[in-house]
């Protein structure tokens, strides 16, 4: 119930992210109450505040422009686009572009493929990151710095470099044109970043807790699942969301490895609309909108987890 | 609580995924009676319609089934060499013509040489000589000679689109000479209209420039420029007149200086919306103009006085070396070359390579195909200005942008282009 109240409370977004150890929601609440009762209240902002606000609004506008253009053009008929160009509002709502794209690429199938791949990658990559980070950050194995650097190479190398070796490897393994190729590749790539990040989070993990647990006779496996996992869960959730969205938006490797139409993801399906010489602006916009909505919905559902901050949830 | 929920949702997604993963993955067709076919033409396009009919005819006549997948141009362009080198290779696919695409794959041994099949079915007689150029590649993958590796099914060429209503209003006729063409444009310019829809950021202005050079040129110039038979004189009559004419047309207001920042799409839209009465561009716009221009009459004509114009065979059928049912693929190609399928392609706004004009019933398409056939009868298909080297497309656009902006003079631009062209050609010819 309290979660719903918080969600309905618009002021919640004004709270700055805590930079020190994150306070639990209960300690946040009184602080906000005090602030809104500050003498003068929000109506007597200083000129500096207004300037910051104005700059933020302008920046926000520029960030939103591409999205707004997609939105405007998705619902425009080609005739409307030809006479008035990309910047004006549509004269009437036109859904044919969206319907045409939906049917042409069998969108539900592509949507499912994307959810399937991104979902599995997110879960697997978080799991592997956690195991790796447990060994590197808490277990403090020898040469951990170099192990982390080595793992990070997977992230630093441009995907174009990886493409051919991966192609030959997976062809030999019989996994070319299989979604498992993409799942394995991105699990490795995403968990490289996850390992790096989690290892540094875990290296600041309070030793007292670990020592207390081992004094109580917990095995390493139990320490991981009973102590480390529950406490770092907020960080793991954030990683899960990032991995999902990043994998969703991947293009080059899915394009290469998913040969059959039935296995393809949403970003790959969108390219069907780009011809040799012609482009269809309104249908392309519609397809971009369709491709973007799922990640947007996913983000909105989980955004409260995101705002919790990536380093949140150390010791309560 | 919330975190548990997040992870629970993710875990159930994963579990569902694992449960259903049995139905993903793919079966590479090994069936002897299945033709695996890929192309990237939209279902509503001329080629899409004609080839859908060809699939039906094929299934009826051979009893085989066609497993068709519509691919994206982008996917075939960037992954063909990998797919064709694997067991996932289809039996037949539409692939891009040119040295960097079909030429490269043929030199790597990924495409089946088709010489015997072409003789057997007689496709060579159906295709005009200039259309065969892009179907043949030598052992280094350079087009124009060597073995057949592809069979083009449609053509494309560049012509003048004009707004009939705007012409009538301005009181001008379709020009038959270059001088008349300039008079027409002058009339529009005097009335405050920029006559030519142009784009220098993409291919349109480069093709106009090439057309102006071709107006002064003969077939040997095309062979020198495209097939590297002799060195091209970049300060000769052909190229000087092209570069200077573009400059004159910009100065006279026939081409807007804004064109340097515009894309092909912008130029096309300015013709569709009626802002510009003349658009010099390719037959690939034809279908779109037909469906999207509703408020004025429009027509086409070949560039005045031109005996050579940019154009080529379209993308073509290729048979991968690792295809499993090559015979079926050849039969399918032959069906797409039949007059009735070619006529279907023509009646839907495409440019068939082997159609009888008499079979074309659609009035507008008749004009288009008559233009193409006229050009072919003159042996006038001259390819595109950016073909000779892999980087010349961007170099040509950059040079012409500077010409339109006025930052460089015609002689500076053509000297710069000449050096870039020559260094690119030297890399290829060695």
For chain B, domains (ranges, CATH) are: 34-154+314-355 (3.40.190.10), 157-311+382-429 (3.40.190.10)
- A255 at B interface, C-beta within 8 A: yes
The domain that contains A126 carries what CATH number? 1.10.3720.10
Do A76 and A29 share a structural domain?
no
Chain B residues lying within 8 Å of A104, measured CB to CB: 42-43, 70
Q: How far is CA B218 from CA A177, B372, B385, B389, in A?
A: 49, 18, 15, 21
Q: Tokens representing A147?
A: 């192990």
Chain B residues lying within 8 Å of A111, measured CB to CB: none
Q: Is A99 within a domain?
A: no
Q: Is A284 within a domain?
A: yes
Do A183 and A38 share a structural domain?
no
3-class DSSP assignment, residue B353:
coil
CB A281 within 8 A of CB A97: no
Task: Dump pLDDT digits (tens) for B350-388.
Answer: 999 988 888 888 888 898 999 999 999 999 999 999 988
The pLDDT > 90 percentage for chain B reads 72
Q: What is the mean pLDDT of chain A?
A: 81
Q: Tokens representing A71?
A: 């939105």
Task: Dump pLDDT digits (tens) for A263-306.
Answer: 999 999 888 877 666 677 888 888 888 888 888 888 888 777 66
Q: Is A40 within a domain?
A: yes
The tally of CA atoms less than 13 A away on the side-chain side of residue A8 is 5
Q: Which pLDDT band, with edges at 50, 70 and 90, does B19 fall under? A: very low
Chain A residues lying within 8 Å of B20, measured CB to CB: 116
Residue A57, C-beta contacts closer than 8 angstroms, at least 6 positions apart:
none
Q: Which of residues 22-61 of B touch A (CB under 8 A)?
A: 24-26, 28, 40, 42-43
Q: Which of residues 93-132 of A touch B (CB under 8 A)?
A: 104, 113, 115-116, 119-120, 122-124
Mean pLDDT score, B339-345:
93
Question: What pLDDT is recorded for position B147?
Answer: 95
Top-confidence residue, A308 or B40: B40
| For B72, nearest residue in chain A (alpha carbons) | A272
Interface test with B, best of A77, A176, A257, A273 (most B CBs within 10 A): A176
Beta-carbon contacts below 8 Å between A and B: 129
| For A182, nearest residue in chain B (alpha carbons) | B25
Q: How far is CA A210 from CA A133, A216, A218, B389, in A?
A: 15, 10, 9, 65
**CA neighbor of A11 nearest in space, from B333, A54, A237, A34:** A34
Do A254 and A176 share a structural domain?
yes
Contact across the interface for A259 and B25, Cβ inside 8 Å? no
Question: What pLDDT is recorded for position A238?
Answer: 87
Nearest-Cα distance to chain A for B384, in Å, is 13
Do A114 and A173 share a structural domain?
yes
Do A243 and A214 share a structural domain?
yes
The pLDDT > 90 percentage for chain A reads 39
Interface test with A, best of B9, B13, B154, B316 (most A CBs within 10 A): B13
Question: What pLDDT is recorded for position A159?
Answer: 84
Nearest-Cα distance to chain B for A5, in Å, is 14
Q: ipTM above 0.90? A: no
Chain B residues lying within 8 Å of A233, measured CB to CB: 3-4, 7
Do A281 and A248 share a structural domain?
yes
Top-confidence residue, A138 or A21: A138
Q: Which of A82, A244, A274 sits opposite B74 (nearest CB)?
A: A274
Task: Dump pLDDT digits (tens) for B40-70.
Answer: 988 888 999 999 999 999 999 999 999 999 8
CB A259 within 8 A of CB A177: yes
The pairing of strands B34-39 and B65-70 is parallel
| For B271, nearest residue in chain A (alpha carbons) | A82
Strands, DSSP E only, in B91-239? 92-95, 136-137, 147-148, 151-152, 155-163, 196-197
Mean pLDDT score, A236-241:
89
Q: What is the mean pLDDT of chain B?
A: 89
**CA neighbor of B57 nearest in space, from B425, B333, B428, B424:** B333
The pLDDT > 70 percentage for chain A reads 81
Question: What pLDDT is recorded for position B400?
Answer: 96
**CA neighbor of B234 nearest in space, from B415, B425, B397:** B415
Considering A37-41, B27-31, B365-369, B411-415, the range whose residues carry the highest mean pLDDT is: B411-415
Chain A residues lying within 8 Å of B7, measured CB to CB: 233, 236-237, 240
Q: Tokens representing B217?
A: 């040129």
Give the residue carrying structure tokens 């030959």: A168
Nearest-Cα distance to chain B for A230, in Å, is 10
State the Cα–Cα distance between residues A236 and A305, nearest whole angstrom: 10
State the Cα–Cα distance between residues B56 and A277, nearest whole angstrom: 28
Q: Which of residues 209-248 of B touch A (CB under 8 A)?
A: none
**Number of helices (H), then strands (E), in chain A:** 15, 0
Q: Is A314 within a domain?
A: no
Q: Is A312 within a domain?
A: no
Task: Dump pLDDT digits (tens) for A32-85.
Answer: 444 444 454 556 778 889 999 999 999 999 999 988 888 888 888 888 887 777
Task: Dump pLDDT digits (tens) for A92-145.
Answer: 888 888 888 888 889 999 999 999 999 999 999 999 999 999 999 888 788 888
CB B322 within 8 A of CB B315: no
Indicate whether A182 pLDDT > 50.
Answer: yes
Top-confidence residue, B133 or B17: B133
pTM: 0.79
Cβ count within 10 A of residue A288: 21
Contact across the interface for A176 and B88, Cβ inside 8 Å? yes
Q: Measured between alpha carbons, how far apart are the two ends of chain A, in Å?
A: 22
| For A275, nearest residue in chain B (alpha carbons) | B73
- A274 at B interface, C-beta within 8 A: yes
Chain B residues lying within 8 Å of A244, measured CB to CB: 10
Question: What pLDDT is recorded for position A98?
Answer: 86
Interface test with B, best of A278, A306, A308, A312 (most B CBs within 10 A): A278
Task: Return the minimum-mean-pLDDT range out of A304-313, B142-151, B326-335.
Answer: A304-313
Task: Dump pLDDT digits (tens) for B177-204.
Answer: 999 999 999 999 999 999 999 999 999 9
Contact across the interface for B70 and A276, Cβ inside 8 Å? no
Q: How far is CA A99 from CA A75, A76, A91, A284, B49, in A?
A: 11, 13, 19, 12, 20
Q: Which pLDDT band, with edges at 50, 70 and 90, does A316 fall under? A: very low
Q: Tokens representing A243?
A: 């991995």
Task: Dump pLDDT digits (tens) for B170-181.
Answer: 999 999 999 999
Do A294 and A271 share a structural domain?
yes
Q: Tokens representing A169?
A: 């490897």
CB A305 within 8 A of CB A235: no
Q: Is A186 within a domain?
A: yes
State the Cα–Cα distance between residues A63 and A70, nearest whole angstrom: 13
Q: Is A177 within a domain?
A: yes
Do A263 and A156 share a structural domain?
yes
Question: What pLDDT is recorded for position B259?
Answer: 93
Domain count, chain A: 3
Chain B residues lying within 8 Å of A234, measured CB to CB: 3
Chain B residues lying within 8 Å of A274, measured CB to CB: 72-74
Do A163 and A56 share a structural domain?
no
Indicate whether B292 pLDDT > 90.
Answer: no
Mean pLDDT score, B393-411:
94
Displacement of CA B147 from its chain's centroid (Å): 22
Determine the structural domain holding residue A17 and report its residue range. 1-44
Chain B residues lying within 8 Å of A273, measured CB to CB: 72
Contact across the interface for A179 and B1, Cβ inside 8 Å? no
Indicate whether A11 pLDDT > 80.
Answer: no
- A256 at B interface, C-beta within 8 A: yes
Q: Which of residues 152-171 of A touch B (CB under 8 A)?
A: 167, 171
Do A111 and A21 share a structural domain?
no
Chain B residues lying within 8 Å of A178, measured CB to CB: 24-26
Nearest-Cα distance to chain B for A60, in Å, is 27
- A234 at B interface, C-beta within 8 A: yes
Do A285 and A236 share a structural domain?
yes
Q: Which pLDDT band, with edges at 50, 70 and 90, does B30 fall under? A: low
Q: Tokens representing B365?
A: 């398409």
Q: Is A135 within a domain?
A: yes
**CA neighbor of B398 nearest in space, from B386, B381, B384:** B386
Q: Which of A261, A279, A281 sits opposite B69 (nearest CB)?
A: A261
The pairing of strands B151-152 and B136-137 is unpaired
Chain B residues lying within 8 Å of A261, measured CB to CB: 69-71
3-class DSSP assignment, residue A46:
coil
3-class DSSP assignment, residue A245:
helix
Do A134 and A58 share a structural domain?
no
The tally of CA atoms less than 13 A away on the side-chain side of residue B105 is 29
Chain B residues lying within 8 Å of A180, measured CB to CB: 21, 25
Q: How far is CA B341 from CA B50, B193, B296, in A?
A: 6, 42, 31
């Amino acid at each position: 119930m309290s979660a719903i109240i918080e969600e309905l409370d618009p002021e919640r977004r004004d709270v700055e992210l805590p930079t020190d150890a994150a306070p639990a929601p209960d300690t946040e609440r009184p602080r906000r109450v005090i602030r809104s009762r500050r003498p003068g209240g929000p109506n007597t902002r200083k000129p500096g505040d207004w300037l910051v606000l104005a700059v933020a609004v302008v920046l926000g506008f520029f960030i939103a422009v591409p999205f707004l253009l997609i939105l405007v053009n998705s619902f425009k008929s080609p005739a409307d686009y030809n006479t008035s160009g990309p910047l004006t509002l549509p004269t009437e709502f036109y859904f044919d572009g969206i319907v045409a794209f939906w049917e042409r690429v069998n969108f539900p199938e592509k949507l499912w493929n994307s959810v399937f791949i991104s979902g599995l990658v997110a879960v697997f990559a978080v799991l592997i990151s956690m195991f790796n980070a447990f060994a590197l950050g808490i277990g403090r194995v020898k040469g951990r710095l170099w192990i982390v650097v080595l793992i990070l190479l997977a992230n630093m190398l441009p995907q174009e470099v990886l493409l051919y070796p991966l192609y030959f490897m997976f062809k030999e393994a019989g996994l070319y044109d299989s979604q498992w190729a993409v799942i394995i590749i991105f699990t490795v790539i995403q968990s490289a970043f996850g390992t790096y990040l989690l290892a540094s989070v875990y290296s600041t993990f309070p030793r007292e807790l670990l020592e207390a647990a081992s004094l109580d006779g917990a095995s390493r496996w139990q320490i991981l699942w009973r102590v480390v996992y529950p406490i770092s869960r907020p960080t793991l959730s954030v990683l899960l969301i990032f991995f999902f969205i990043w994998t969703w938006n991947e293009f080059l490797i899915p394009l290469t490895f998913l040969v059959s139409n039935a296995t393809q993801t949403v970003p790959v399906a969108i390219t069907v609309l780009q011809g040799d010489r012609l482009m269809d602006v309104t249908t392309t916009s519609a397809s971009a909108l369709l491709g973007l909505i799922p990640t947007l919905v996913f983000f909105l559902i989980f955004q409260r987890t995101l705002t919790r901050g990536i380093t949140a949830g150390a010791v309560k | 609580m919330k975190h548990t929920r997040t992870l629970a949702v993710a875990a159930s997604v994963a579990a569902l995924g694992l449960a259903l993963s049995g139905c993903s993955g793919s079966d590479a067709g090994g069936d002897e009676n299945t033709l695996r076919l890929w192309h990237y033409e939209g279902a509503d396009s001329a080629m899409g319609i004609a080839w859908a009919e060809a699939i039906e005819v094929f299934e009826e006549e051979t009893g085989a089934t066609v497993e068709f997948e519509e691919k994206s141009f982008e996917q075939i362009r960037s992954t063909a060499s990998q797919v064709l080198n694997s067991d996932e290779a289809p039996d037949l696919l539409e692939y891009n013509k040119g040295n960097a695409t079909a030429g490269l794959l043929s030199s790597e041994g990924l495409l089946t040489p088709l010489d015997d099949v072409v003789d057997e079915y007689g496709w060579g007689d159906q295709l005009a000589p200039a259309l065969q150029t892009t179907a043949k590649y030598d052992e280094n993958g350079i087009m124009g000679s060597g073995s057949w590796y592809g069979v083009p099914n449609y053509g494309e060429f560049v012509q003048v689109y004009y707004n009939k209503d705007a012409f009538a209003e301005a009181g001008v006729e379709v020009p038959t000479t270059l001088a008349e063409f300039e008079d027409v444009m002058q009339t529009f310019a005097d009335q405050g209209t920029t006559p030519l829809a142009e784009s220098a950021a993409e291919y349109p202005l480069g093709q106009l420039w090439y057309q102006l050079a071709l107006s002064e040129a003969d077939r040997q110039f095309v062979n020198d420029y495209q097939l590297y038979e002799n060195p091209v004189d970049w300060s000769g009559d052909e190229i000087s007149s092209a570069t200077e004419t573009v400059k004159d047309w910009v100065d006279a207001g026939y081409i807007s200086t804004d064109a340097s920042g515009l894309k092909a799409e912008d130029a096309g839209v300015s013709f569709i919306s009626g802002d510009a009465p003349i658009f010099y561009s390719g037959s690939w716009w034809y279908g779109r103009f037909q469906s999207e221009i509703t408020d004025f009459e429009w027509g086409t004509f070949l560039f005045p006085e031109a005996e050579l114009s940019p154009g080529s065979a379209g993308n073509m059928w290729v048979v991968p070396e690792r295809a499993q049912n090559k015979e079926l693929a050849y039969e399918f190609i032959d069906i797409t070359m039949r007059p009735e399928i070619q006529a279907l392609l023509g009646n839907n706004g495409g440019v068939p390579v082997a159609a009888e004009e008499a079979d074309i019933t659609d009035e507008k398409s008749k004009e288009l195909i008559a233009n193409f056939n006229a050009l072919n009868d003159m042996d006038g298909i001259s390819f595109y200005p950016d073909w000779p080297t892999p980087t010349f497309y961007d170099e040509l656009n950059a040079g012409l942008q500077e010409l339109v902006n006025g930052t460089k003079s015609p002689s500076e631009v053509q000297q710069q282009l000449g050096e870039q062209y020559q260094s690119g050609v030297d890399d290829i010819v060695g």
